[in-house]
Amino acid sequence: MGTYDHKRILSDWSNGTLTADMAIGHALQHIAELYELLAQQRKSVNDKVNHLENRLNTLQVQFDRLTKGVSAELEQAKKPASPAPIIHLPEVSAPQKS
C-alpha cells in the first residue's frame, strides 16, 4: 500500500492535479498507516508497563522483607537486657569453734 507523502498530496490538490477520489484514496491509506503505527506504539507501551509492574512487584517484595527485618531488629533493641542469671550455690556455714 504505497501512497505519496502528505505534502505532495496537498500540493497536488492545490494545483488541481489530484481528483477527489484520488485524495480520498490517499487519505484512507494514510489513516491505515496511522492506525498501524498507533497499534505498534500501544504494544510497545504495554510491554514497558508490564515490565515496570513486574519490576515494581519484585522491589516491593524486597522492601517488605527489609522493613520486616529492620522492625524485628528495632523491637529486639527495645527489649530490656535480660538480668544476670541467678546462680544458687549451696550454703556454706562458718566453721564452729569448739
At 78-96, the pLDDT tens digits run: 777 677 777 777 776 767 7
At 23-68, the pLDDT tens digits run: 889 889 999 999 999 999 999 999 999 999 999 999 999 999 999 9
* Torsion of Cα atoms, 47 then 48 then 50 then 53, to 10°: 180
Q: Where exactly are the structural domains of the chain?
A: 6-74
* C-alpha–C-alpha distance, residues 76 and 93, integer Å: 43
Judge contact between 23 and 3, C-beta under 8 A: no
* Residue 26: Cβ-neighbour burial (10 angstroms; 0-12, 13-18, 19+): buried
At 67-77, the pLDDT tens digits run: 998 888 888 87
Q: What is the mean pLDDT of residues 3-9?
A: 83
